[in-house]
Amino acid sequence: MTLVLEVTDRLSNRPEQLVEFANILGRSEGRIRVFEEIYRGQKKTKTVDEIAKKLNLPNKTVLTHGKFLSTNHLCKQDGERGQTFYAKIAWVQSNKTKILELTKDPKKRANVPTKRNIKVNVENKKSPVLVPSSLVSIEHVQLEDIFAFREVKNHAPSGMLGDALTEDQFKLGVQKLCLESGVFKDWGGEQSDLYTSALQFTASKKLTAAFAFKGPGLKTKLTIAKMGKNGDQCPRLFQEPAQFFVVQHCREVASAVIDLVHTHAALKSVYLNQRVYFSVWDGQASKRLVEAYPSAF
């Protein structure tokens, strides 16, 4: 008895492979039954006669399904003395339950995050959004890499901004650096605290930008729950017709906020079909900006 051994690494990406195998099994009841019988119990190999007898199927039907499964690397096929048999593949055996689960539940299969489908949660963790990675074009930009704020490079971190400035003072300073002359008054339903089409992003390129500021009134780390009365400040910010989005706080910023901004940038990129830039400034970055441009603040 001889067995064909796998010599290529087809199983290196588990989510991709689980989905692929579930798609291969598809809706064919006979194919699924043969697959289940091959992997049932402790026997490492089973002959066509054994499988046909157990499932009460013609040998030809078992051969047809078995050949399809082996061709698609769901089992190994071999034979001797005129008898065909099928052998288990260790990786498939260890993931059999999950493969069958995804095979029988197309909705669950569609929600598996893979290289082709990036799974991101927006506001409701029970409602994941699948974004094709090929459509996403985003860039997380550091404060000092923005041309309008380039002097920040010359100022090392030296603590948090804290209570040094009010939110309005900080906003007006950023507005001056953006060379934006509009008037921006806070009100409960605004989409952003500052919106400008004049931000000098690079030496040769301007971008429309939307900012959300959190001032010293918030004495703790910025979390998603602290972003607006209903925790909806981030999605409202990304409703602005902008290419660059900034969330700022004068103290610490929770990593979950950065993840949320990243998520909305990805969704905005897909919606606009263009590159979207984003930046998150904590109290340390905010203080560096103030120190780099004291006359603006």
Cα–Cα distance between 97 and 105 in angstroms, integer? Answer: 12
d(CA 284, CA 251): 7
Query: Which amino acid is residue 137, in one-letter code?
Result: S
Nearest-angstrom CA–CA distance, 114 and 133? 9
Question: What are the φ and ψ backbone dihedral angles of 62, each rounded to 5 degrees?
Answer: -65, -40
- The bridge status of strand 83-87 relative to strand 45-47 is antiparallel
Q: Sign of the CA dihedral 32, 38, 39, 40? A: positive
Among residues 124, 118, 120, the alpha carbon closest in space to that of 224 is found at 124
Alpha carbon distance 149, 140 (integer Å): 16
Spell out the SS3 assignment of the chain.
Answer: CCCCCCCCCCCCCHHHHHHHHHHHHCCCHHHHHHHHHHCCCCCCEEEHHHHHHHHCCCHHHHHHHHHHHHHCCCCEEEEECCEEEEECCHHHHHCHHHHHHHHHCHHHHHCCCCCCEEEECCCCCCCCEEEEHHHCCEEECCHHHCHHHHHHHHCCCCCCCCCCCCHHHHHHHHHHHCCCCCCCCCCCCCCCCEEEEEEEEECCEEEEEEEEEECCCCCCCECHHHCCCCCCHHHHHCCCCCCEEEEEECCCECHHHHHHHHHHHHHHHHHHCCCEEEEEECHHHHHHHHHHCCCCC
Amino acid at 89: I
The amino acid present at 11, given as its one-letter code, is: L
- Residue ranges in the chain whose pLDDT is less than 50: 1-12, 121-127, 187-188
Bin 159: left if φ > 0, else alpha if -120 < ψ < 50, else beta: left
Locus of tokens 């650096």: 177
Nearest-angstrom CA–CA distance, 121 and 260? 8
> Are 244 and 200 in contact, with CB atoms under 8 Å apart?
no
- Domains identified in the chain and CATH numbers: 14-115 (1.10.10.10), 134-292 (no CATH)
- Joined tokens for residue 297: 């603040």
Q: Are 70 and 46 in contact (CB under 8 A)?
A: no
> What pTM does this model have?
0.58
- The CA distance from 250 to 220, in Å, is 10
